[in-house]
Amino acid sequence: MRLLKLLLAPVLALGLPAAAHAQPVRADNAEVELVAATDAIVPGQPLSVGLRVKHDPEWHTYWQVPGDSGLPTRIHWKLPSGWYAGPIEWPVPKRMPVGPLMNFGYDGEVLLLTQLTPPADLKPGAQVELGARADFLICRDVCIPSGADVALSLPVREAANPSRRAAQFAATRALVPQRVTLQDATATIEDDRILLSFRAPSALAKAEFFPLEEARIEPAAPQIVRVEGDRVALYLTAAKPIAAGFTRLKGVLVAGDGPARADRGGWAGEIEVALAPGKVAPVEAAGAAVTAGTPITLWFALIGALAGGLILNLMPCVFPVLSLKLLSLLQHQREEDAAHVAHASLRTHGIVFGVGVVASFVLLAGAMLALRAGGAQLGWGFQLQTPWVIAGLTALFFVIGLNLLGAFEFNVGTRLANAAPAQRLRPDRISGSFGTGVLAVVVAAPCTAPFMGAALGYAITQPAAQALLVFAALGVGMALPYLLLTFFPALLKRLPRPGAWMERFRQVMAFPMFATCVWLLWVLAQQVNVNALALTLGALVLIALAVWALGIAQRGATRWRWVALGAAGVAFYAVAAATGPDSMRANASTVVDAGSPWQAWTPAEQQKLLAAGQPVFVDFTAAWCVTCQANKQLVLKSRAVIDALSQKGVTLLRADWTNRDDAITRELARFERNGVPLYVLYDRSGKAQVLPELLTERIVLDALRRI
């Protein structure tokens, strides 16, 4: 009889009511299946089902908020009439770093729970087919949009028993955060710094936050925890631009080792706390390490800004203007020596020049910080991303060049012609010293000297007062050599004596000004179309006519002033028409040359390459950045560097910041930078090396040897 029962069991099973039945479906790099917590459906009682996704090794899918990139899994239910499906109940995700990016998702095997409600009038003994379409993005070295149609057949009974997957359902449900109310919780935001403070129900060694709203929290930014007694402070970084509707901090708070280690105080809860403006200490004050490497303090930033300002005096974009200022000081010193008077006015000129430099840096930085506070993604040099500023600077340098050639007279504190020994400096030359300081800052904007990058990157993460202090230190560094020369005039005596050579030198200095105009017009060509560029060139012709007529008027023919005024007015109108909104280019920038090994940088392209284990070199540059162009021509185009990059199999990406690009601005901020150039070399594991602002072949080759 036992043998007979054994032989007949499969046959008898065919006539019994069907149990839970589902077949796994093979999708791209994952096995997908629809499973249930019980072996039957009970009429009117909720049924817990789950989408089981078993990922192939090294592959992953995404949480409901995927982080810096990715897409969440979606389930589209195909249910009989009268059934209702609840939302996906997401277990706590994992952090998945990809280079500088941070994603949230799952690998291995995961169960995404959903509660289905059947109608109460189901008849026991019936068999119900439940179906769904699951769509997901699955990633490893590449990302593949994938999906599967899954189904589950269950019988209807008066009562149900746990299925063979009941234990997996219970374990997963323990990982699903439930709504919690934190005791004495407050959330404060200042600039992009957020402080979540609460009283912990148990001792915490660590905590982490997963946002439930996109574009609220910067996924890759460090999250710093400070515990004082039973009080926990969690420091977060807000994503920029900060949305006007960001008034509540919503997310999943994972405490300790998470709900999987509840025996050690781990838990996860869904929280929502009102977000209010207030004072938040900088991340560094909370003990955080700077993302890009060495921790930066205020004193370090001030010293870096001071050193960077000193070096700015040697940059090619600043040197012509400051050379003229130096000769002006030399002329004035000789005049005071001849008149046998103290050098008080010489020192006054040095101080006024320094005030002009510092005030200009502070005002420019204040404008940038105000615009950033309003949500604009801006960095150092932001004004050069605006065509009318570039066109205006071109006109200014063109006028200065014509002035230096003697086409007209315009006192800017650089009177270099021979003067009578006893002649005193006229009062209006004090304003000329201030104006020269302003002009020096204007022409210095495209330059980034060593030490400046880290200092300015630190500044924009700090409260406004500290940020402006760093920019003021930059101005002090730039003005310091000239202040020292005016306070110690004996140093000026080591320069050649004034004479006819000074007038010739003045004329020679006009040609660097014209060369600067050519460079600025090239920058403008990256920002406007060819018709607008032609209008700008026409405006320069009109400007030449205006200053020529002004020179004639200054020599006695006063009626020519009307010609000068009319030509200047038409030139202004031409520049305004050339750089209006309709003139912006629609095509790509020429910073990435056709046929070159460089590709245009995008966050997605960088992530794809790093996920594939590909070494990557990223050049953050702009057409208006003089340092960038020098590094490009002298180093990045050298045969030794090109060969070394090729031998290492490095993919070259160029991030063009000539025009405003919020993605590039955010990427610069990840490396505590606020301007270009920035050079980042990633090895095959995604680890980044940040190279100096001024490159040499040796620096690049040494960095390549380390990957």
Which 3-state string (H, E, C) describes 11-51?
Answer: HHHHCCCCCCECCCEEECCEEEEEEECECCECCCCCEEEEE
Across the range 628-633, mean pLDDT stands at 85
Name the residue type at position 246: F
Q: What are phi and psi of 277, to 5 degrees?
A: -65, 150
Alpha helices in 445-499 (DSSP H): 452-459, 464-487
CA distance 548 to 554: 10
pLDDT for the residue numbered 98? 76
pLDDT for the residue numbered 313? 73
Is the predicted pLDDT of residue 230 greater than 60, yes or no? yes
Across the range 428-452, mean pLDDT stands at 68
Provide the pairing of β-strand 248-255 with 267-277.
Answer: antiparallel
Render the burial of 263-273: b for 16+ CB within 10 Å, e for the rest: eeebbbbbbbb
355 exposed, middle or buried (CB, 10 Å; 0-12, 13-18, 19+)? middle
Owner of token pair 């028993």:
161
String of DSSP letters for 187-233: EEEETTEEEEEEE-SS--S-EEEEESSTTSB-TTS--EEEEETTEEE
- Across 127-136, 197-206, 413-422, 590-599, the highest mean pLDDT is recorded for 127-136
Percent of the chain with pLDDT over 90: 30
pLDDT for the residue numbered 426? 40
Across the range 87-105, mean pLDDT stands at 89
Residue 60 — pLDDT band, cuts 50, 70, 90? very high
- Taken in order 577, 579, 581, 585, the sign of the CA dihedral is positive
CA distance 678 to 453: 8
Residue 505 — pLDDT band, cuts 50, 70, 90? confident
Residue 113 — pLDDT band, cuts 50, 70, 90? very high
CA distance 606 to 611: 8
Provide the pairing of β-strand 651-656 with 598-600.
Answer: parallel
Give Cβ neighbours of residue 658 (< 8 Å, ≥ 6 apart). 385, 523, 526, 527, 589, 591, 622, 623, 624
pLDDT for the residue numbered 602? 87
Give Cα 516 distance to the centre of its chain: 29
CA distance 511 to 402: 9
CA distance 704 to 701: 5
Beta bridge partners of 224: 235
CA distance 464 to 369: 7
CA distance 248 to 308: 41
Name the residue type at position 235: Y
Other CB atoms within 10 Å distance of the CB of residue 299: 8
pLDDT for the residue numbered 66? 94
Percent of the chain with pLDDT over 70: 76
Is the predicted pLDDT of residue 576 greater than 90, yes or no? no
Answer yes or no: are the C-beta atoms of 622 and 628 closer than 8 Å.
yes
Q: Encode pLDDT of 534-555 as tens digits.
A: 888 888 999 999 889 888 888 8
Name the residue type at position 682: Y
Is the predicted pLDDT of residue 249 greater than 90, yes or no? yes
Q: For residues 105 and 310, which has the higher predicted lDDT (pLDDT)?
A: 105
Strands of the sheet containing 143-155, edge to edge, are 74-78, 127-139, 143-155
> pTM, whole model, 2 decimals?
0.44
Is the predicted pLDDT of residue 558 greater than 50, yes or no? yes
**3-class secondary structure for 345-380?**
HHHHHHHHHHHHHHHHHHHHHHHHHHHHHCCCCCCC
- Cα three-residue angle 607-612-617, rounded to 5 degrees: 60
Is the predicted pLDDT of residue 309 greater than 50, yes or no? yes
Is the predicted pLDDT of residue 561 greater than 60, yes or no? yes
C-alpha radius of gyration, the chain, whole number: 34
Q: Encode pLDDT of 348-404 as tens digits.
A: 877 888 898 888 888 877 776 676 555 455 555 556 677 877 888 888 888 888 887
556 φψ region: left (φ > 0), alpha (ψ -120 to 50), beta (else): left
Residue 52 — pLDDT band, cuts 50, 70, 90? very high
CA distance 72 to 584: 36
Segment (H or E) for 689 = strand 688-691
Across the range 73-98, mean pLDDT stands at 93
Write down all domains in the chain, each with its CATH number in brackets: 17-175 (2.60.40.1250), 178-286 (2.60.40), 298-386+410-509 (no CATH), 598-705 (3.40.30.10)
Q: Which two tokens stand for residue 690?
A: 């940040």
Q: Which two tokens stand for residue 662?
A: 């919020």
Q: For residues 542 and 414, which has the higher predicted lDDT (pLDDT)?
A: 542
CA distance 427 to 424: 9
Beta bridge partners of 109: 54
Of 439, 412, 443, nearest in space to 328 by CA: 412
Give Cβ neighbours of residue 22 (< 8 Å, ≥ 6 apart). 33, 34, 35, 150, 151, 152, 153
Which of 279-288, 422-431, 480-489, 513-522 is the least confident region?
422-431
Whole-number average pLDDT of the chain: 79
Across the range 214-221, mean pLDDT stands at 90
CA distance 707 to 696: 18
